[in-house]
Structure 1
């Protein structure tokens, strides 16, 4: 582990309880005690990011893991709103989704996603992918403070 590694705040925007569980497991098994917060739809994600209502005291995330297919407000809309908001646009967003559709990949990057990762179906591979994302953003990337 890199000596400069620090715990980071991660916001997971995911409506599938199974994927939330796997992501939590990947984070808990990893070396750095990153704090993972979870919201289950796009409207909740925006309320969290804007510190509205029950999220008034929410910490600003250092990284957002965003599913595209969400209830109430779709992940593409969340990505567009985050990257259009001067107060939020510097937060890196990794799209973590089941979609392998070229149009979703292209649109996500057009909306300024920092990375696009397809969720593996295999349990072990899913955990491995989340750990790699975690490692990369904790030990390699310099995040804005």
Structure 2
């Protein structure tokens, strides 16, 4: 079950790069005295109008277009990765059992199965639940 772990780990850097790309787009717009509303959806909706405005005074127009293309690519990659995680969590029996726990979704279930493997690694169910954060953590001396 190493495949879901790889999928889960690939998603986190892509999401961070998406945020960085969005911030770069906002910075380029601000340098040109153009503002966009704060939400991601508002920025996405305003980009075509900004590009079609015919404002050729944007010296960084090529950079702006490249950032927009990066953003589109990252969004598609995140969708594909999320779909892979969801498929892996729906097909694995261990993941299905974990998803039945309130508060555990596709990402957490695949990460736990990848990190822990089979639940036989724990001698008590409570220890596994503590690992998930569902019960107070246990502090024992190990003896």
TM-score (norm 1): 0.21
Which structure has the bigger radius of gyration?
A: 2
Higher relative contact order (CA 8 A, sep 6+): 2
- Higher helix residue share: 2
- Higher strand residue share: 1
TM-score (norm 2): 0.22
